Amino acid sequence: MMIVGMLTLISTARGSIAEAGLAAALAGLGTAALGPLAGSLADRYGQRVVLLVMSGMSILAVAVELALVATDASTLAVVALAFGVGATMPQVAPFSRSRLAQFAATARSPRRRARAISLVMSYESVMDETSFVIGPVLVGLLTTLIAPWAPLVIGVVITATIVVAFAVHPSARVVTHAAAHDRGGRLPRRVLLLALAMLAVGGMFGSILTALTGYMSERNAGEQTGIIYGAMSVGAIAIAIAVAALPARVTLGRRWLFFAVLALAGALALALAAPLGAVLAGLLLAGAEVGAVLVTLFSLGNRTAPAGRSTMVMTTLQSSLVVGQALATAVCGVLVEQSGPGAGYAVTVGLAVVLIALAVVDALTERRRAGARRVATA
């Protein structure tokens, strides 16, 4: 709600998609700057204190941003504070993944643990995608029925109630802290590759959202963008549930590559669509495949994370997702304003190709590592 709400508020109140996209991009950069740090602090000192501090700072940042827009402040002030809104956004999703992964890891056999982890990541991705549905739809409804500022106000209320309740929940105590393990050392290189893939996935979400905003604005229905955008997440929710049922022999690496190729097909369908019905069909297809990639990348992240650093890895991946969405929103905001929605969908197609390339690199890297392990064992 925060990113889409800010995009809607600024584009509606100030009449510039480009300015709104820039603010959304800075919000994403703020998340990138503080998100992984928040995860690292949570691994060391516990999630509760980090979430409570971030919640208070987030409420203050959003309140000031609303005041700036209401007083017709300068563009510089509005977009600069957007950075603070992103930086203080509570990292609920990766923190939840880390908690549930700890529960899943207590299963007695390796097979049951793998199954439990798969279910957890599918569940968490469904929750993420549900937020992608509910958030934009609520932004559209609240903007239409009340005012452009309403979504951000409701977001503040959610932070002050639900996020705080999550922070103080007893499950916060189950997460293994890095204090019990080695705090030094670098994260595995695969985490960087996964973060780049998440950047591409977020970029696909952001480019589609911005292109769709331009498409709906051309039809004088820009305030309904969030509602139409929900079709993308409907497909993502359906496939995220189905991914958990895939057999173990369909490895995570194979899933990444397979669904990335299908995501490219969905992106091409959107780029070629013109009538609203065709756009909806393209959104469903693209959303389903990108959702499957999302589940896969988080599962790989959990498997790759060193002991005691799962929250940091999950937060890094989540931050990359948000950053990719925000950066693509900014770039596509300019492209769409100058050249129309087709330019935004072209970015989506390019990012799908990047996602496929990263999957190939990961597969080749893992194959080399497996070969090196076999040689060492022999």
- Alpha carbons 55 and 307: distance in angstroms, whole number: 27
Taken in order 215, 221, 226, 227, the sign of the CA dihedral is: negative
The whole-number pLDDT of residue 307 equals 67
Q: 3-class SS at 51?
A: helix
DSSP letters, 289-350, are HHHHHHHHHHHHHHHHSPTT-HHHHHHHHHHHHHHHHHHHHHHHHHHHHHH-HHHHHHHHHH
pLDDT, position 180: 46
Per-residue pLDDT, 355: 94
Which CATH code fits 2-175+185-377? 1.20.1250.20
Hey, what are 99's tokens?
């908690």
Please report, in tens digits, the pLDDT of each residue of the chain (378 residues total): 887 788 788 877 777 777 787 887 788 778 777 877 888 788 788 888 899 999 999 999 999 988 888 887 787 888 888 889 988 988 888 888 888 877 877 777 777 777 777 777 777 777 776 776 677 778 878 888 888 888 889 989 999 999 999 999 988 776 655 444 444 556 678 888 999 999 999 899 888 888 888 877 777 766 666 667 766 767 777 776 677 667 667 788 888 898 899 889 888 888 887 777 777 778 877 777 787 888 788 888 877 877 667 777 888 888 788 778 778 887 888 888 888 888 888 999 999 999 999 999 998 988 887 776 666 665
Tokens of 151: 């979504």
* Domain spans of the chain, in order of start: 2-175+185-377
What pLDDT, on the 0 to 100 scale, is given for residue 224?
A: 65
Q: Please state, in angstroms and rounded to a whole number, the distance separating the CA atoms of residues 6 and 60.
A: 15
Contact 19, 230 (CB under 8 A): no
**Closest Cα to residue 353, out of 197, 153, 159, 244?**
197
The pLDDT assigned to 179 comes to 44
What is the Cβ-side half-sphere exposure of residue 189, based on CA atoms within 13 angstroms? Answer: 5
Number of CB atoms found within 10 A of residue 85's CB: 27
Q: What is the pLDDT of residues 294-335, one digit of tens each?
A: 878 888 887 787 766 777 788 888 878 877 877 888 788 888
Residues with Cβ < 8 Å from 210, sequence gap 6 or more? 17, 21, 328, 329, 332, 333, 336, 344
Please, which residues have CB within 8 angstroms of residue 228's CB and are 6 or more apart in sequence? Answer: 212, 216, 276, 279, 280, 283
| pTM of the full structure | 0.73
Our CA angle for 193, 322, 247, nearest 5°, is: 55
Token readout for 354 is: 């990047």
DSSP 310-324: HHHHHHHHHHHHHHH
